[in-house]
């Protein structure tokens, strides 16, 4: 049984049923060990707990202090929250005597409460301090990084993490702007970017890609994802599922390529005398690629870019 106080900012969990259904929690698997690597406001975790058997266990991970506070209000003894990135999941579970799990769910990106809370600095639409850290107890804020990064560093981050074609112009404008006064607020940065970007896709704010890039960089999101994918694979027991929701092309590309690398194997020359049993076998089986329904996108426009990819770990030596 779980009890959770109502969050200050409403969050709609994207692809809630689809992501949890993909973990295949039925039968004996209901008493397995599972990980929600991105607890957020707990939507996926609560649904997993509702389907777990009495011996099942669920470990949640999150860097955000508000997410941790929400998780600590869950009284279910089968649940434990870890204040850290999902990139640490392997060592965290090993410390608890667990070497393998029966399913892992990752819901990448930022949550609606983080975006909607102006004090967090994630949104260019609201005036607030330029922080952008998911864990406000660690690391540099966006404002601190913008104050010290070179023009070349700014350009590289905005281009690579934001896929922004005007990265050079924006970086130059940031350096010029901070020479006049420190860049410390969201609207201040958004204004600098808007003045540097003269054209933009219809319906998209000029600052969208720059804010995305800085947020990804400050929080080491792609580094965490790269490490987390490897750690997740190492933890999965044969038959266990990995269920991952991505929201932008950089994340989804990494997830897609990682899963493909585990699901495909190099085939030897057919002319060689190799028995079928000795052929290299895939390590994972691709299960599904799912996007939000039209109804979900209508109810929650922020879900429109979401992609759920699901894969299952195969037994050593083959065969699904």
Annotated binding site for S-adenosyl-L-methionine: 42-44, 62, 86, 107, 114
Exposed, middle or buried, 301 (CB in 10 Å: 0-12/13-18/19+)? exposed
Among 224, 190, 41, smallest CA distance to 122 is for 190
Per the annotation, where are the binding residues? 42-44, 62, 86, 107, 114
| Rounded to 5°, angle at Cα 122 from 152 and 180 | 50
d(CA 17, CA 195): 42
CB 189 within 8 A of CB 207: yes
The stretches of the chain forming alpha helices (DSSP H) are: 16-21, 43-51, 65-71, 89-95, 112-116, 142-148, 151-162, 167-180, 186-196, 208-218, 221-235, 249-263, 294-299
d(CA 306, CA 291): 6
Residues 6 or more apart whose Cβ sits within 8 Å of residue 283? 233, 262, 263, 313, 314
Q: Is 3 helix (H, G, I), strand (E, B) or coil?
A: coil
Among 60, 154, 140, 144, smallest CA distance to 104 is for 60
d(CA 285, CA 319): 9
Three-state secondary structure of 179-246: HHCCCCEHHHHHHHHHHHCCCCCCCCCCCHHHHHHHHHHHCCHHHHHHHHHHHHHHHEEEEEEEEEEE
Total number of residues shown for the chain: 320
CB 58 within 8 A of CB 79: yes
């Amino acid at each position: 049984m779980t009890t959770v106080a109502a969050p200050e900012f409403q969050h709609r969990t994207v692809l809630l049923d689809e992501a949890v259904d993909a973990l295949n929690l039925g039968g004996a698997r209901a008493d397995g060990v599972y990980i929600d690597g991105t607890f957020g406001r707990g939507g996926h975790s609560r649904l997993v707990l509702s389907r777990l058997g009495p011996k099942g266990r669920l470990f949640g991970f999150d860097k955000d202090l508000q997410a941790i506070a929400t998780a600590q209000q869950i009284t279910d003894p089968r649940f434990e929250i870890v204040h850290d990135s999902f990139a640490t999941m392997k060592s965290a579970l090993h410390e608890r005597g667990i070497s393998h799990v029966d399913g892992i769910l990752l819901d990448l990106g930022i949550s609606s409460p983080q975006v909607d809370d102006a004090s967090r600095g994630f949104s260019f639409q609201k005036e607030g301090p330029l922080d952008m850290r998911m864990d406000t107890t660690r690391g540099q804020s966006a404002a601190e990084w913008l104050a010290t990064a070179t023009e070349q560093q700014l350009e590289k981050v905005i281009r690579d993490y934001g896929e922004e074609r005007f990265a050079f112009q924006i970086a130059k404008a940031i350096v010029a702007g901070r020479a006049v006064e420190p860049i410390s607020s969201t609207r201040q940065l958004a204004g600098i970017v808007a003045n540097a970007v003269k054209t933009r896709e219809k319906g998209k704010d000029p600052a969208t890609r720059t804010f995305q890039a800085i947020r990804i960089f400050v929080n080491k999101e792609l580094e965490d994802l790269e490490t987390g994918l490897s750690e997740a694979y190492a933890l999965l027991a044969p038959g266990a599922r990995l269920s991952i929701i991505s929201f932008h092309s950089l994340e989804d590309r990494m997830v897609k390529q990682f899963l493909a690398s585990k699901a495909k194997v190099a085939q030897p020359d057919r002319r060689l005398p190799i028995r079928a049993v000795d052929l290299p076998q895939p390590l994972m089986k691709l299960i599904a690629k799912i996007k939000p329904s039209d109804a979900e996108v209508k109810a929650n426009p922020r879900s429109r870019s979401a992609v759920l990819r699901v894969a299952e770990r195969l037994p050593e030596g083959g065969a699904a």
